[in-house]
Amino acid sequence: MNIDRGTLYRHQAENWLRGLLLISGLAALLCLIGWVIAGGAGVAWALGLGVILLLVSARIPPRLILARSAAQQLPPSAAPVLHAMLQELAARAGLGARPMLWYVPSPELNAFAVGTRNNGAIAVTAGLLRTLPRRALAGVLAHEISHLRHNDTWVMTLAAMLSEVTAWLALIGQLLLLALLPLVLRGDVDLPWLALMLLAIAPTASTLLQLALSRNREFAADLEAVNLTGDPQGLADALSRLESNRGIWLENIFLPRRNHTRLPRWLRTHPDTGERIERLLAMLPKRRIPPLMISDPSRDGHLGLSIPDTRVRRPRRSRVFRL
């Protein structure tokens, strides 16, 4: 199935407009903190720092990020079917270079993309390969390729850097105000309440903008993934399985058995999974599924995997774009 081009382009345009506004908001917060600390000179320094982050974030090698997740590169001989899926999806997406495929020895059900459309990588966990059928795996790979195609991973890395630098500058500003405390107590200077308030709320505001940016890009990636596979049901099944698995172990660890609560929408990194699944299922049925290697619902025992028996462990947190 192919999504109507007009609908696809409209969603892409809205996605980039919202992304531009949110990135601009993060940059504005950084400049505001610079102004609080050093006036006009601080704004100039903040703008210069933002440009540096813009250049650096686009040049971080995927290997460097994946090294934090205990990942290992998965050669074609170890996973021929997965590589064949990735090859066809990358060709459909028009990527100049096929993303590298990596394996994370973690029991969690997850996949994530790092890098850019010309130098990207997709990592899949051991739990994902053991749990998802082939059709759902194709939907997951298509979703991550969609992120790479539109450089979502680079945008999110830039947002994370801007947010982190804003938090550090706000901390420096608070320490400078603390140094003025003796003068304030003696009555020599007035406490700058406005500056103090801005320094206090800026890190939280930048984090909320970063979360909104992440949620903004998920719906567009889902839509384009369906355009690549022609199979809304495959991605919907994958999201359902991932949400079920994630909910079980998170609730058992963190939440009382009878008092399950949900995070507010504005505190989530991703949109509500139920809403994403509803949008996907609303696309059924349209046309026949194109001949991508997703017709066989077999699990990883029939994927041709040949992965060393490494110790399964949970990866450390890293700045990646997760499913």
According to DSSP, the β-strands at 120-125 and 321-322 are: unpaired
The active-site residue out of 144, 164, 275, 278 is 144
Mean pLDDT, rounded, for 215-234: 85
pLDDT band, residue 177 (cuts 50/70/90): confident
pLDDT band, residue 248 (cuts 50/70/90): very low
Give the pLDDT confidence of 68-124 residue by residue, as tens digits.
777 888 888 888 889 999 999 999 988 878 899 999 888 888 888 888 888 889 999
More confident residue, 6 or 87: 87
Q: Of 49-63, 168-182, 280-294, give the lowest mean pLDDT range.
A: 280-294
What is d(CA 266, CA 310) in angstroms, rounded to the nearest whole number?
A: 38
DSSP per-residue letters across 109-137: --EEEEE-SSSEEEEEEHHHHHHS-HHHH
Mean pLDDT, rounded, for 236-246: 83
Residue 36 has pLDDT above 50, yes or no: yes
pLDDT at 63: 81
144 is catalytic: yes
Give the pLDDT confidence of 140-168 residue by residue, as tens digits.
999 999 999 888 888 888 888 888 889 99
Q: Rounded to 5 degrees, what are φ and ψ at 230?
A: 70, 20
Partners of 112 in the beta sheet? 123, 322
Mean pLDDT, rounded, for 9-17: 73
What is d(CA 183, CA 180) in angstroms, rounded to the nearest whole number?
A: 5
pLDDT at 2: 52
More confident residue, 238 or 255: 238
Residue 269 has pLDDT above 60, yes or no: no
